Amino acid sequence: MLKKIAIFGVGLIGGSFALALKQAGAVQHVVGAGRSLASLQRALQLGIIDAIATSPADAVADADLVLIAAPVAQTGAILASIAPYLQIGTVVTDAGSTKGDVEASARLALGTKISQFVPGHPIAGRESNGPDAAIANLYVGKKVVLATLPENGQADIERVASAWRQCGAVIHQLSCAQHDVVFASVSHLPHLLAYALVDDIANKPHADMLFQYAASGFRDFTRIAGSSPEMWRDISLANQEALLQELDAYQLKLTQLRGLLASRDGPGLDAIYQNAQQSRHRWICAIEAAEKQNKEGGD
Amino acid sequence: MLKKIAIFGVGLIGGSFALALKQAGAVQHVVGAGRSLASLQRALQLGIIDAIATSPADAVADADLVLIAAPVAQTGAILASIAPYLQIGTVVTDAGSTKGDVEASARLALGTKISQFVPGHPIAGRESNGPDAAIANLYVGKKVVLATLPENGQADIERVASAWRQCGAVIHQLSCAQHDVVFASVSHLPHLLAYALVDDIANKPHADMLFQYAASGFRDFTRIAGSSPEMWRDISLANQEALLQELDAYQLKLTQLRGLLASRDGPGLDAIYQNAQQSRHRWICAIEAAEKQNKEGGD
């Protein structure tokens, strides 16, 4: 049982974490902190938090666990604001979508207290944001990647892992560098590609006619281009190096496909389309099997 | 009321057309034709068709309307097989996803009877295929593009349009060339891009680890890469010219984005992401409004 947790950013991600721990009976007292007083007051009203912190010192005093669930670009400043008040028994984690930049800013902000920071990334979300979007079951069956640092002690890692497990999540462990390579490939690049396609079409002179005939395949392909531009600008810049590498590999693949198409190489196109279709099919089967197992394990 | 229609290809598309017309009381007799006797027998069993044609001549004899709902690459051969038996009062249409190649093969196959062929493309589908996937309401509220030829008479176009309207569809008219430019942009290119991404990831040495962390955004982005590789190889080749143009424009856009990312140009990235997000939002609002209107109009 956690006596006190502090949440910086009481929106969808932080709020759902608090609600899930409360529902599991895993925490006694939740303190909220953040830049928007209106959000904090709403979170208090909704029972997500029990109190609003009066200062960074107040937020982290005697806390077992601190979660930073604010935009990635703010992580360094928040860590710097609490660093002087961090007690030895307190573990800090975050929920940012990139980890290399978070690690770098955490080392700057925390100095010798870096061992108390266990970077994390819950792979979960919803279309909506803010305290009102928070739900207790957001993380059930979802992955949480702990991008642990060499300095982290096993007990501190376990405290963070255990809290997420109480929210229903499944824990994975990667290094920060591994994390960023993986998510550049399966998340950050697809976002960039979807934004690029919609922007490309929207800038054509006959854009209105084109959009008129876009159907459900286009809607699903571009769904992630409905995400927050500011957030994805920050993620793109934060994970610049890995994202550039993935983008270059993808451009090579497109150039290869262009060559096959230009030379009317049917078998060549077929081989790529088939490999993609079959790989995706195996992946879907694997995640469905894993989801089924998680559900059965949870009963 | 149509006295007789003939359907070449009694799967999802052709079967749903027949079921919808029957449900609307808009046809007296449906004859099925195609390469697979098992599919034809199943369609007969399911009440999709009333009889199996014994020959191309038998299929089209005294038919008011003939629908070719077979893979695009077969359209020319089917048209050639029925051309000698096409009576003056019969109108032929198709359901292929590309129209320039269909027009070319139709001109070859039909010669002076080309005016009787009204090319079409219903924008509808499901994950599953075959006669068992056919449903009477597949086309309700969906668009059907009639890619009319200069030779088509207004009464023949209207016969095809009227049949689709009885299925609940909304009729749009484009030239074959316009059709192919539009669908290269909003359908064929996204398919190629989705296949390319999955193939790119699947060929990496750490593909298993990458797929393990792919989540719902990736699933939606790549859903169209689950489509039939053979069908999309044929569509890519059939619409080669327009698809190459769209692919080149997209590669230019990616190169522009790469430059912004490499130079850490946050406002530049933001401008593209924002334009995409806002354009998509306007599009979603427009299709939702149109769907609402269609529903109200249909009540």
Amino acid at A221: F
Smallest CA-to-CA distance from B78 within B7, B174, B157 is with B7
Q: Which of A183, A200, A247 sits opposite B213 (nearest CB)?
A: A183
User: Quick check: A103 and A141 in contact, CB under 8 A?
Assistant: no
Q: Taking residues B159-168, what's their average pLDDT?
A: 98
pLDDT at A195: 98
Q: What is the spatial distance between Cα A232 and Cα B273, in angstroms, rounded to a whole number?
A: 8
In this prediction, residue B296 carries a pLDDT of 62
What tens digit of pLDDT does each residue of A130-155 get?
A: 999 999 999 999 999 999 999 999 99
pLDDT of residue A299: 41
Share of chain A above pLDDT 90, in %: 91
Instruction: With H, G, I as helix, E, B as strand and everything else as coil, classify residue A36.
Output: coil
Q: Which residue has the higher pLDDT, B228 or A80?
A: A80
The pLDDT assigned to B294 comes to 66
- Rounded to whole angstroms, the Cα distance separating B267 from B135 reads 49
- pLDDT mean over B49-74: 96
Rounded (10°) CA dihedral A223, A227, A229, A233: -90
Q: Are B56 and B30 in contact (CB under 8 A)?
A: no
- 3-state SS of chain B? CEEEEEEECCCHHHHHHHHHHHHCCCEEEEEEECCCHHHHHHHHHCCCCCEECCCHHHHHCCCCEEEECCCHHHHHHHHHHHHHHCCCCCEEEECCCCCHHHHHHHHHHHHHHHHHEECEEECCCCCCCCHHHCCCCCCCCCEEEEECCCCCCHHHHHHHHHHHHHCCCEEEEECHHHHHHHHHHHHHHHHHHHHHHHHHHHCCCCHHHHHHHCCHHHHHHCHHHHCCHHHHHHHHHHCHHHHHHHHHHHHHHHHHHHHHHHCCCHHHHHHHHHHHHHHHHHHHHHHHHHHHHHHHHHC
Single-letter residue type at A182: V
**Residue contact B261–A286, C-beta within 8 A:** no
Q: Find the mean pLDDT for residues A62-79.
A: 95
Instruction: Note the pLDDT of residue A291.
Output: 75
Interface of A with B in 232-291 (CB under 8 A): 232-233, 236-237, 240, 243-244, 247-251, 253-255, 257-258, 261-262, 264, 266, 269-270, 272-277, 279-281, 283-284, 286-287
- Average pLDDT taken over every residue of chain A: 95
Say if residue A204's pLDDT is above 80. Answer: yes
What domains lie within chain B, and their CATH numbers? 2-174 (3.40.50.720), 179-264 (1.10.3660.10)
Neighboring chain A residues of B240 at a CB cutoff of 8 Å: 261-262, 264
Confidence of residue B299 (pLDDT cuts 50, 70, 90): very low
H or E stretch at A109? helix A100-110
Nearest-angstrom CA–CA distance, A140 and A281: 24
Residue B295 pLDDT: 64
CA B94/CA B90 separation, integer angstroms:
14
User: Nearest Cβ partner of B247 from A196, A258, A276?
Assistant: A258
Q: Where does the pLDDT of residue B298 fall: very low under 50, low under 70, confident under 90, or very high at 90 and above?
A: very low
Kindly tell me if the per-residue pLDDT of A112 is higher than 60.
yes
Mean of pLDDT over chain B: 95
User: Which chain A residue shows the shortest CA-CA distance from B189?
Assistant: A197
Q: Contacts of residue A186 in chain B, CB cutoff 8 Å?
A: 201, 210-211, 213-215, 218
Stated as kind and residue range, the H or E segment containing A95 is none
Task: Reply yes or no on whether the pLDDT at A24 is more than 80.
Answer: yes
A55 token code pair: 């200062």
Closest chain B residue to A255, measured at CA? B251
A262 confidence band (pLDDT: 50, 70, 90): very high
Among partner residues A186, A201, A277, which is closest to B225 by beta-carbon distance?
A277
For B31-58, what is the mean pLDDT?
97
Res A62 pLDDT > 70: yes
Split at pLDDT 50, 70, 90, the class of A76 is very high
Question: What whole-number distance in Å separates Cα of residue A237 and Cα of residue B269?
Answer: 9
pLDDT of residue B170: 96
Q: Measured between alpha carbons, how far is A249 from A251 in angstroms, rounded to an integer?
A: 6
% of chain A with per-residue pLDDT over 70:
98
Q: What is the CA angle B277-B283-B289, rounded to 5?
A: 135
